Amino acid sequence: MSHTYEYPRAALAVDCVVFGLDETDLKVLLIQRKLQPFQHAWALPGGFVRMDETIDNAARRELEEEAGVSDVYLEQLYTFGAMHRDPRERVVTVAYYALAKLSDHRIRAATDAMGVGWFALDALPKLAFDHSEIVSRAHERLRGKVRYAPVGFELLPPRFSLTQLQRLYEIILGTELDKRNFRKKILSLDLIVETDEVEQGVRHRAARLYRFDRRKYDRLAKQGFELSI
Amino acid sequence: MSHTYEYPRAALAVDCVVFGLDETDLKVLLIQRKLQPFQHAWALPGGFVRMDETIDNAARRELEEEAGVSDVYLEQLYTFGAMHRDPRERVVTVAYYALAKLSDHRIRAATDAMGVGWFALDALPKLAFDHSEIVSRAHERLRGKVRYAPVGFELLPPRFSLTQLQRLYEIILGTELDKRNFRKKILSLDLIVETDEVEQGVRHRAARLYRFDRRKYDRLAKQGFELSI
DNA sequence: TCAAGTTAGTGTACAAATTACACTCTAAAC
DNA sequence: GTTTAGAGTGTAATTTGTACACTAACTTGA
């Protein structure tokens, strides 16, 4: 039986929700659109997928090109294909979320230079297309995932204090945690280990810095260990 | 600034992993391909997305057309876009997973008639394309989700015994559970309620049948309640 | 140098949840 | 009426989670 392949082709795009964490807030990186539609509106970094690259690659490329962001944790989130989400024509977008270390000077420098903005998640401007919906879903996913996967560390510098880690969970989960109970639990996992470094340049007692032992985690995970925070 | 829209267009498809549960196994519905490529090989039901339907609709339509399956729980899983996953050309597929009640006579009848097959998850034949990878990811998602969301009930008839429910969790999670502890925990949630019906046609003491109180669950979920099994 | 300010760091008692475990009850089939 | 198959039930021990408040270390500025 002979067969020719005739079927509709959608324009396929990617969009990325890049999260960053500062002292008090979870932030999202946005870019201001230069072109119609939604000219001048804030939007997620993203663009069309090329025929010679995977979708993951398209996401990384657009992050680099549009926002100067590279070397981040990146995970596919959901594919949005509502009929009129783009007023021009049918565009299906594969959404990703990324976790960036705001403390990373390269990220700071790159995003400062390119006219992009970091916005607190609870004070976002109106966004282009269905990007608000994408951000909501990304936040939801992050909230869920942070409790059973070691993704939070992607938002922190490689060495961090236990207070920083606690703040991270408080900010993402939106709850207050008890300091002593948190430390007890975290340290009992034996995956967050002391270093001989301490916080620098603070005007109070310097906190001891810890690091996440990813090797150990990976080893345990292979043996069926399940994290739970 | 004028602008014309010139970008590559990928062929966009959907594929569905339909799960069903019998007495001893989690099963997956497969169809045998009639055409090249992978002619005669078993594959997931699926097909191309049309320009005038959403991706979700495409998934439901293909399920109905190719496998006679309708009225199932359906959730988007992941989008697969490796370069050569389809040997003909670039095809990106949005994968879904569905939970069907094998006890539903309509499902039974439809799938019997259409030359489709139910295969135990741990004894699948070789599959076309990257469909094995899609099935793995669907199974992983189901295992994760069944513990904090009430999706298991989608695999059971509306009235079920506690033993059936326990088997469901044992089969999906791949662990044995203690009968008394399981019942204590499940009933303490107060979401699985007794009916006045009992199992029929068994050659031993008939088990009492229960139902899941979805209204109550939805109400609690809105107030921030989180299920955990 | 000392007083004030700021965050780091630490333990215990109580409550709640989870685990381990074995027998009697009921109905059908023969 | 005996056998068979699974239904149904409680308690004690252990583990885990929760509530809670003070001292230690360092910096800054008077």
Q: Which residues 51-70 of chain A have a CB within 8 Å of chain B? A: 51-52, 54-56
Which nucleotides of chain C does any protein CB come within 7 A of?
5-12, 18-22, 25-29
Mean pLDDT confidence for A82-108: 95
pLDDT digits (tens, 9 = 90+) for A29-52: 999 999 989 999 999 999 999 999
Q: What is the dihedral of CA A145, A97, A135, A39, to 10 degrees?
A: 180
- Which residue among B51, B83, B92 sits closest to A90, beta carbon to beta carbon? B51
Mean pLDDT confidence for B28-57: 95
- Going by pLDDT thresholds of 50, 70 and 90, the confidence category of residue A10 is confident
Mean pLDDT confidence for B151-173: 97
Distance CA B122, CA B99 (A): 17
User: Other CB atoms closer than 10 Å to residue B107's CB: what's the count?
Assistant: 22
- Measured in angstroms, the CA of A123 and the nearest CA of chain B are apart by 22
- Going by pLDDT thresholds of 50, 70 and 90, the confidence category of residue A6 is low
**pLDDT on residue B111:** 86
Could you give all domains of chain B from N- to C-terminal order, each with its CATH number?
A: 11-145 (3.90.79.10), 152-222 (1.10.10.10)
- Going by pLDDT thresholds of 50, 70 and 90, the confidence category of residue A195 is very high
Mean pLDDT confidence for A67-77: 97
Cis amide prior to B37 (ω within 30 degrees): yes
Q: Which nucleotide is nearest to B179 (CA to C1')?
A: D8
Mean pLDDT confidence for B218-228: 94
**pLDDT on residue A114:** 76
Mean pLDDT confidence for B93-103: 97
Mean pLDDT confidence for B23-36: 95
Distance CA B17, CA B76 (A): 10
Mean pLDDT confidence for A127-145: 98
Q: Is A227 on the interface with B (CB under 8 A)?
A: no
**pLDDT on residue B1:** 35
User: Chain A residues with CB inside 8 Å of B229's CB?
Assistant: none
ipTM at complex level: 0.94
Per-residue flag: A163 CB under 7 A of strand C:
yes
Mean pLDDT confidence for B86-114: 93
Q: Is B35 on the interface with A (CB under 8 A)?
A: yes
Residue B167, CA distances (Å) to A168, B22, B100, B221 in order? 38, 10, 16, 25
**pLDDT on residue B6:** 54
Contact A135, A16 (CB under 8 A): no
Residue A3 in this model has a pLDDT that exceeds 80: no
Helix (H, G, I), strand (E, B), or coil: what is residue A78?
Answer: strand
Is A142 exposed, middle or buried (CB count within 10 Å of its CB: 0-12, 13-18, 19+)?
buried
Q: Which nucleotide is nearest to A199 (CA to C1')?
A: C8
Which nucleotides of chain D does any protein CB come within 7 A of?
4-11, 17-21, 24-28
Cis amide prior to A125 (ω within 30 degrees): no
pLDDT digits (tens, 9 = 90+) for B66-75: 999 999 999 9
pLDDT digits (tens, 9 = 90+) for B110-141: 888 777 999 999 999 999 999 999 999 999 99
- Going by pLDDT thresholds of 50, 70 and 90, the confidence category of residue B9 is confident
Contact A90, A11 (CB under 8 A): yes
**DSSP designation for A44:** -
- Going by pLDDT thresholds of 50, 70 and 90, the confidence category of residue B4 is very low
For an interface test with B, give the residue of A61, A92, A94 to mutate (most B CBs within 10 A): A92
Determine the Cα angle at A103 with ends A98 and A107, to 5°: 55
**pLDDT on residue A1:** 35
Residue B213 in this model has a pLDDT that exceeds 80: yes
- Going by pLDDT thresholds of 50, 70 and 90, the confidence category of residue A77 is very high
Kind plus residue range of the DSSP H or E element containing A140: helix A131-145
Q: Among A6-20, A27-41, B194-208, whose mean pLDDT is lowest?
A: A6-20
Distance CA A44, CA A31 (A): 6
Mean pLDDT confidence for B7-11: 80
Q: At what angle do helices A179-189 and A162-173 cross, to 10 degrees?
A: 110
**pLDDT on residue B139:** 98
- Chain A, chain B: beta-carbon pairs less than 8 Å apart: 76
**pLDDT on residue B5:** 45
- Interatomic distance A208 CA / C1 C1' (Å): 28
**pLDDT on residue B121:** 97
Average pLDDT, chain B: 94
User: Chain B residues with CB inside 8 Å of A82's CB?
Assistant: 54
Contact A49, B8 (CB under 8 A): yes
**pLDDT on residue A101:** 97
- Measured in angstroms, the CA of B206 and the nearest CA of chain A are apart by 37
User: Other CB atoms closer than 10 Å to residue A215's CB: what's the count?
Assistant: 9
**pLDDT on residue A2:** 36
Asked if B50 and A8 come within 8 Å (Cβ–Cβ), the reply is yes
**pLDDT on residue B2:** 36
Contact A19, A26 (CB under 8 A): yes
**pLDDT on residue B122:** 95
Q: Among A36-50, A132-146, A165-179, B111-125, whose mean pLDDT is lowest?
A: B111-125
Question: Following DSSP, what letter does each residue of chain B receive, concatenated?
Answer: --------EEEEEEEEEEEEE-SS-EEEEEEE--SSSSTT-EE-SEEEPPTTS-HHHHHHHHHHHHH---S-EEEEEEEE--TTSSSSS-EEEEEEEEE--TT-HHHHHHHHHTTEEEEEGGGPPPBSTTHHHHHHHHHHHHHHHTTTSTTGGGGS-SSB-HHHHHHHHHHHHT----HHHHHHHHHHHT-EEEEEEE--S-SSSPPEEEEE-HHHHHHHHHTT-----
